[in-house]
Structure 1
Amino acid sequence: MKIAMVQMNSTGDQQENLDRVAEHTASAVRKGARLVVFPEAAQIAFGNDLARATAEDDGQWSESIAQIAAENNTVIAVGAFRAGENGTVVNTLIVRGVDEGREISVDYDKIHLYDAFGHRESDTVTAGESVRTFRLGGLTFGLAICYDVRFPALFTAQARAGADAIIVATSWGAGPGKAEQWKLLGPARALDSTAYVLACDQADPAVTGIPVKDGSPTGIGHSYVASPNGTLIAEAGRGEEIIFADIDHSRVAEIRGTLPVLQNSRLKGALFVEGV
């Protein structure tokens, strides 16, 4: 199956972002993509009033994504937000589309909130609690968002639930060592889960010229697809672009046959440590 990863910068204008999703989806589908992946916060960039934006939108943006997917006979995975608890929002990855007449509609809410590097996402975001997957064209896809990539257990849980590939939508924060960590973490999670990792970041505003508000995490580029043995099979630069890759269930089965880390693991349940 051919998948497309759209590395773009979103802005504070939800309609403008939606129009760009529609444009990029049509372009990717013309080149044969069956699944089109967009970054975290594609609906509206960090640094804007997310709570107000979700209240004003009231789910219309998500409905429009479903319409775009249907018009292009494809499936779209895209970062968005919806209202959370006590004035917060939920950072979510929505999947909408059709697969041989079957409607696909799945939401994954970011479990691990980015309270790191001086940032506190938990002040404004309600955490998710559930692992989510979906089926498309005989393949099972898992879902993750940004900071989730630092938590191997999420990826092995999805692999044990049948995931052949795991989407990681992100708006990765810049800073010393952050690009190196980004490039390391996805391949490591691919090795942990022996699954493809589809890591789609926002483009780097330093290259595209998109204004950055309040030092918010707005992407560094370098989106990539890691194979189940950790090697990169597609990689973007820092600017806006679309990259493509073919993923294959038989390749997952082959690598899991030779590197059965999921089967060999003795830590499949809770791990208790006895101290002395």
Structure 2
Amino acid sequence: MTSLRVAAAQIGAGPDPVANLATATDAVRRAAAAGAELVALPEATLAAFGTDLRAVAEPLDGPFATGLRKVAAELGVVVIAGLFEPASDGRVHNTLLATGPDVETSYRKIHLYDAFGSRESDLVAPGNELVTFELRGLTVGLATCYDLRFAAQFTELGRAGAHLIVVPASWGAGPGKEEQWDLLTRARAADAQSWLLACDQPWTPPTGSDPLGIGRSVLADPLGRISTRLAAAPDILLATVNDTLPSTTRESVPIL
């Protein structure tokens, strides 16, 4: 059995990328000190939604990504975090950076949050490729927030062999939204027959239609059961995943 110690650092981002990098770096250090080998940070860790995303967007060799690479290399951990990078059409991409020893890849959010009065696509250009990477014998898939509403993406990540899917998020608050988050994180783990680590921003008072976070970061297992969950406040979730449960689940329930 191959196992991996993972963390979801439920931190809140503001409008300042420099301050957010300091918060993120501190959280990665605390998670690594607790034994984490992979540390997930939320979607929009670079800057919260509601910020001028075009103004703060940085390329993947910019100071924010470089700062994350530095702490990941120093601590020997893989860090996954949400940022915004300039797109060729004048919008930005909502991007996850995964970086650390022997890992360097990125995923651009495919499904944009044009729902509940929000219009992410006005500012964000969609990606079109699924992304997985290998880490210490496990295959890790990436997805972002609103992707959770699209089961086929997770089924395909399961078919690609993902043992773990990491889902950074900045989930919008509102009536029924906590229940939907709880339902979808469990369902997508079961669809992929994979561990699913979803890292949200902590609960933040709503401002208009901007999705700012509800907390409730969670690890669900390949059968859709909750392994561990955080509450609404800033915190760090720590847990262990393995390759055995995805394999035995896929053997006993061969839906993929």
Q: With structure 2 as the length reference, what TM-score do the two structures score?
A: 0.96
Report the CA distance shift for 1:199/1:56 in structure 2 as closer, same or farther (over 3 A). Answer: closer
Q: After TM superposition, list the pairs within 5 Å mapping 1:1-276 onto structure 2.
A: 1-54=4-57, 59-98=62-101, 103-206=102-205, 213-262=207-256
Paired with 1:239 and 1:198, the residues of 2 have a C-alpha distance of 17
Paired with 1:261 and 1:193, the residues of 2 have a C-alpha distance of 9
Paired with 2:118 and 2:108, the residues of 1 have a C-alpha distance of 19
Which of the two has higher C-alpha Rg?
1
Shift of 1:85: 3.0
Q: What letter is aligned with 2:116?
A: F
Q: Does the 8 Å contact 1:3/1:35 carry over to 2?
A: yes
Give the 4+ runs in structure 1 shifted more than 4 A. Answer: 55-58
Shift of 1:64: 1.4
Q: Does the 8 Å contact 2:9/2:27 carry over to 1?
A: yes
Q: Tell me the secondary structure at the aligned position of residue 57 of structure 2.
A: helix
Pairs aligned (count): 253
Shift of 1:87: 2.1
| Greater displacement, 103-112 / 84-93 | 84-93
Paired with 1:58 and 1:121, the residues of 2 have a C-alpha distance of 24
**RMSD between superposed Cα atoms in Å:** 1.4
Paired with 1:57 and 1:26, the residues of 2 have a C-alpha distance of 21
Matched with 1:271 is: none
Shift of 1:57: 9.3
5+ unaligned residues in a row in structure 2: which ranges? none
Paired with 2:86 and 2:59, the residues of 1 have a C-alpha distance of 10
Shift of 1:255: 1.3
Q: Does the 8 Å contact 1:48/1:213 carry over to 2?
A: no
